[in-house]
Chains A and B, each alone.
Chain A
Amino acid sequence: MAPVPQPTSAMQPILRALRLPQFGMGSKIAAVVLAIIVALTLLAGWIAPHDPLTMNPMVRLQGPIEGYPLGTDNYGRDIFSRVLIGGQLSLIIGIATAAVSVALGLVIGMIAGFFRTADAIIMRMMDALMAIPSILLAIALVALNGPSVGSVIAAITIPEIPRVVRLVRAVILSAREEPYVEAAIALGTPMHKILIRHLVPNTTAPLIVQGTYILASAILTEAILSFLGAGVSTETPTWGNIMAEGRLFFRIKPELILYPGIALSLCILSINLLGDAARDMLDPRLKKRAG
């Protein structure tokens, strides 16, 4: 028996995951790439050489020229600045969607998993929600509420919620059968305490993994919505609407789509790789092999 107490709190796997030597090469590169992307977008206000909205008709559709490292678009706006600033909103929408859908999904999933009567009603609603194609639902929601950032986040979040609810419900349902939960019932622990102190911690690991996937898919969905013209209005650049605008001049100047496309792909690829790494790290079967 080891004399040193080893906390098995929810934080432990995360702390362990951060010790880099346990990661594969792929996820290390992904972490670095993602860090660079996040840093560039966060500092975009200082790095960007131009205002992303300032038009300069003198230098329309130019290749890389003095002061415009990636060239200009059809209005003479700086592509480099637009991609940097556009990343801000893309990431904000991604993070907000992941956070909101995980939070709402956790609460609804907890209720569905714990209260048998609520379960049937909630899950049928979730089934109904999942039966609607998510892009279609998002387009409808944006069409109803107008193309603001808030309504885009809501439109992407709502179709993601059922997936989180199902996950949380499944974890709660299996955890509530554990003898330590029955022992807690026998010890007179009130239901809400059992739910929060015994059951919810079991959902942390799967939610971290699910959260990263939602983050990646939300950034992608935002791009799709913008591309279809159902996203944030074009005055605010995002990777999606930069590409949507570039579509018209694709034949003469493919860079208009190429650069935001590369930023989007790298970002999503690295988030997904990190999500996979987190899943491997938190998988109890793999954990046992390591420990």
Chain B
Amino acid sequence: MLFKTRNFDDAPVVLEAKGLTVSLPDTKGDPKVLKSINVTIRASETVCLVGESGSGKSVTSLAIMGLLPEALKVSSGTIHLQGSDLLPLTQAQMRELRAARVAMIFQEPMTALNPVLRVGDQIMEVMELHTSLPAAERRKRALAIMEQVHLPDVPRIFASYPHQLSGGQRQRIMIAMALVLEPVLLIADEPTTALDVTTQKQILALIDELQQDHGTAVLFITHDMGVVAEIADTVYVMKQGEIVESGAVETLLRHPQADYTRALLAAVPSLSPRAARAGADDAVLRVEKLNKVYGGGGILKKLPTAHAAKDVTFTLSRGQTLGIVGESGSGKSTVARCIMRLIDPTSGRILLDDTDIATLTRGGLRPHRQKLQVVFQDPMRSLNPRWTIADSLIEGPLNYGTSRKDALAEAARLMQVVGLPTDALARYPHQFSGGQRQRIAIARAVMMRPDVLVADEAVSALDVSVQAQVLDLLDQLQRDLGIAIVFITHDLRVAAQICDEVLVMQRGAVVEHGPAAQVLAAPAHAYTRALIDAAPGRSWDFHNFQEMRDPSHAEPA
């Protein structure tokens, strides 16, 4: 692993926050959201703020930008930008400063761009607000910065609307807007989290390159340790509004001091695939030549068709986990939804215990539903907010004739299995954290005693420590109950951690399929190689604070 080892002791300080404390003055007890944090960023330096959700990383960036929500107030401390204090500045003065000297890019480039303006005009608008350049000059500079962020066919994109661009292109536009006035500090708040890994790699390289060219200081906020390993010079680890540890990236990853940092690093799933388990022979799920074609129009009009799944074939045995990996739009969720029969496959067979469920009617499907359960990505929306946990858990068993009393007893037992108190049953979903809700969703699926569990990005919305717990829970349930799992994910680390077999999809087609150890350690297809290559921090073993020894061999856990 090649870490950045540049020395910034002589570089001028761009931003210095000292004793920065942010509190919620209107809430009882005046709780502190940031507790006296110190951050220093020098010219050309990339400082990463890492932490889990709620740790205060975004609040830090908003405080620097002067964009704190009304409920939050800086109660003490200073923020100096190139020596001048930012906190006494008025709204108007801060507005002058933003974009001109401090710029920010956000996680979701679709919502951060105005959907009804051409992107070129949006870049030019930044200059119009902050400079007195003539229109022709503004246009020239906008085209120049778009060249610099390596957008293809610049004149066409200049005249495009945001929805006509891909996610990566939109993020490049955001970066162009942020850098067009050559700010001294760029704040990037999870700028690659919503992007596919291959796109993420390009965006990270772009930020790095522009930083070299312009000498911009970068404050990079992320939850992804892999990204940190790739791009950071200096790392600050945050937890509950405090900085628990900071230091040069290599020192921090090699010799973490704080317990929290160690725990955070240990929770990062290793990219080295798990050793394949002895495969049972009894196949519970066989998918044969599954196809799904969207569109085509109706009787009145013809629409272009999209082949979202092409001849997908696989077999899943009892107690095994099959990972379906791919980037957005690869068709992995389509396959999951076809198997669940939430959508109807266009052709092919789905054999569940030798019954073809692909063509069954709604009524005919019903007896088979309980063998096939699903856990969704978004823990906020997968439970009915109006129902108690108990109501959600017993819904399925009641449908199949279990008595209410038995179902409630089983629900209480499962609550303990998934590590929640039994009194959780009487509560409502909003009273639980994302990780707890995901456990409840898993418990709801397990209530049905399914043979196959489809987990559609089931841990993607969770923090890495919570993610590790949920993966452990799935592993435990699989060992105890022999459930077969179809695990849909875009995250190769997660796939490596829990899958026996991996199926790689690209644009609806399966490009590679085999044991996890083989696919991830010695990929045969170029696309699989590109995916693995793009995984940030892939040659660092976060768990053991050292380089990966030999990625081709599975390490004992």
In contact, B382 and A5 (Cβ under 8 angstroms): no
Neighbouring A residues of B430 by C-beta, 8 Å? 6, 8
Q: Fill in one digit per residue for A6-28: 1 if any B CB lies within 8 Å of its CB, else 0.
A: 11111000000000000000000
Neighbouring A residues of B374 by C-beta, 8 Å? 182-183, 186
In contact, A182 and B342 (Cβ under 8 angstroms): yes
In contact, A188 and B370 (Cβ under 8 angstroms): yes
In contact, B376 and A187 (Cβ under 8 angstroms): no
B25 lies within 8 A of chain A by Cβ: no
Q: Contacts A179-B376, A191-B362, A198-B384: A186 and B369 contacting too (C-beta < 8 A)?
A: yes
In contact, A183 and B441 (Cβ under 8 angstroms): yes
Neighbouring B residues of A179 by C-beta, 8 Å? 376-378, 381-382
Stretch binding the partner chain, chosen from B10-18, B395-403, B474-482: B395-403
- A193–B384 Cα distance when bound, in Å, is 14
Q: Which chain B residues numbered 370 to 420 have a C-beta less than 8 Å away from chain A?
A: 370, 372-374, 376-378, 381-386, 388, 392, 395-396, 399-400
In contact, A10 and B386 (Cβ under 8 angstroms): yes
Neighbouring B residues of A2 by C-beta, 8 Å? 431
In contact, B373 and A8 (Cβ under 8 angstroms): no
Q: Which of A9, A188, A193 contacts B400 (CB 8 A)?
A: A188
Neighbouring B residues of A121 by C-beta, 8 Å? none
By secondary structure, the A interface counts as loop
A189 lies within 8 A of chain B by Cβ: yes
Neighbouring A residues of B372 by C-beta, 8 Å? 186
Q: Which of A1, A186, A189, A190 contacts B340 (CB 8 A)?
A: A186
- A7–B441 Cα distance when bound, in Å, is 20
Size of the A side of the interface (Cβ < 8 Å), in residues, is 24
Interface size of B as a range: 20 to 34
B448 lies within 8 A of chain A by Cβ: yes
- A193–B387 Cα distance when bound, in Å, is 14
Closest Cβ–Cβ distance, residue B395 to chain A (whole Å) = 5
In contact, B428 and A7 (Cβ under 8 angstroms): yes
Q: Which of B381, B399, B431, B432 contacts A187 (CB 8 A)?
A: B399
B426 lies within 8 A of chain A by Cβ: yes
Neighbouring B residues of A283 by C-beta, 8 Å? none
Neighbouring B residues of A1 by C-beta, 8 Å? 427, 431-432
Q: Which chain A residues numbered 129 to 186 have a C-beta less than 8 Å away from chain B?
A: 178-180, 182-186
In contact, A201 and B386 (Cβ under 8 angstroms): yes
Closest Cβ–Cβ distance, residue B366 to chain A (whole Å) = 5
Neighbouring A residues of B170 by C-beta, 8 Å? none
B444 lies within 8 A of chain A by Cβ: yes
Closest Cβ–Cβ distance, residue A167 to chain B (whole Å) = 19
In contact, A184 and B342 (Cβ under 8 angstroms): no
Neighbouring B residues of A193 by C-beta, 8 Å? 399
Neighbouring A residues of B400 by C-beta, 8 Å? 188
Residue of B nearest to A189 (CB): B399
In contact, A5 and B427 (Cβ under 8 angstroms): yes
Q: Contacts A5-B426, A180-B383: A186 and B342 contacting too (C-beta < 8 A)?
A: yes
Neighbouring B residues of A184 by C-beta, 8 Å? 384, 395
In contact, A182 and B376 (Cβ under 8 angstroms): yes
In contact, A6 and B369 (Cβ under 8 angstroms): no
Residue of A nearest to B367 (CB): A188
In contact, B428 and A6 (Cβ under 8 angstroms): yes
- A5–B387 Cα distance when bound, in Å, is 11
Q: Which of A178, A190, A201 contacts B381 (CB 8 A)?
A: A178
Residue of A nearest to B363 (CB): A190
Most buried by B among A1, A7, A182, A188: A188
Q: Contacts A179-B381, A180-B381: A190 and B386 contacting too (C-beta < 8 A)?
A: no
- A1–B424 Cα distance when bound, in Å, is 10
- A275–B456 Cα distance when bound, in Å, is 41
Q: Contacts A1-B432, A5-B426: A185 and B342 contacting too (C-beta < 8 A)?
A: yes
Closest Cβ–Cβ distance, residue A197 to chain B (whole Å) = 8
In contact, B432 and A180 (Cβ under 8 angstroms): no
Closest Cβ–Cβ distance, residue A278 to chain B (whole Å) = 18
Q: Which chain A residues numbered 183 to 224 have a C-beta less than 8 Å away from chain B?
A: 183-191, 193, 198, 201
Residue of B nearest to A204 (CB): B386
Neighbouring A residues of B388 by C-beta, 8 Å? 5
Closest Cβ–Cβ distance, residue B393 to chain A (whole Å) = 10
Neighbouring A residues of B342 by C-beta, 8 Å? 182, 185-186
Neighbouring B residues of A188 by C-beta, 8 Å? 366, 369-370, 396, 399-400, 448
Q: Which chain A residues numbered 95 to 118 have a C-beta less than 8 Å away from chain B?
A: none
Q: Contacts A179-B378, A186-B342: A8 and B386 contacting too (C-beta < 8 A)?
A: yes
- A185–B337 Cα distance when bound, in Å, is 12
Neighbouring B residues of A191 by C-beta, 8 Å? 362
Q: Which chain A residues numbered 78 to 108 have a C-beta less than 8 Å away from chain B?
A: none
Closest Cβ–Cβ distance, residue B371 to chain A (whole Å) = 10
- A175–B400 Cα distance when bound, in Å, is 24
Neighbouring B residues of A201 by C-beta, 8 Å? 386
In contact, A5 and B428 (Cβ under 8 angstroms): yes
- A188–B388 Cα distance when bound, in Å, is 19
In contact, A180 and B428 (Cβ under 8 angstroms): no
- A199–B464 Cα distance when bound, in Å, is 34
Q: Contacts A1-B431, A8-B428: A187 and B448 contacting too (C-beta < 8 A)?
A: yes
Closest Cβ–Cβ distance, residue A40 to chain B (whole Å) = 38
Neighbouring B residues of A9 by C-beta, 8 Å? 386
Closest Cβ–Cβ distance, residue A74 to chain B (whole Å) = 57
Neighbouring B residues of A178 by C-beta, 8 Å? 381
Neighbouring B residues of A182 by C-beta, 8 Å? 340, 342, 374, 376
- A204–B430 Cα distance when bound, in Å, is 19
In contact, A186 and B373 (Cβ under 8 angstroms): yes
Residue of B nearest to A185 (CB): B342
Residue of B nearest to A289 (CB): B71
Q: Fill in one digit per residue for B331-352: 1 if any A CB lies within 8 Å of its CB, else 0.
A: 0000000001010000000000
Closest Cβ–Cβ distance, residue A60 to chain B (whole Å) = 61
Q: Contacts A191-B362, A198-B384: A183 and B376 contacting too (C-beta < 8 A)?
A: yes
Closest Cβ–Cβ distance, residue A7 to chain B (whole Å) = 7
A-B contact pairs, 15 of them (CB 8 A): A5-B426, A5-B427, A9-B386, A179-B376, A179-B381, A180-B381, A180-B392, A186-B340, A186-B369, A187-B369, A188-B370, A188-B400, A189-B395, A193-B399, A198-B384
Please report B residues at the A interface, Cβ cutoff 8 Å: 340, 342, 362, 366, 369-370, 372-374, 376-378, 381-386, 388, 392, 395-396, 399-400, 426-428, 430-432, 441, 444-445, 448
Shortest 4 CB-CB distances between A and B: which pairs? A187-B396, A188-B369, A179-B376, A179-B382
Q: A10-B386, A182-B340, A198-B384 are in contact. List 5 more A-B contacts (CB 8 A).
A: A5-B426, A5-B427, A179-B382, A183-B374, A190-B399
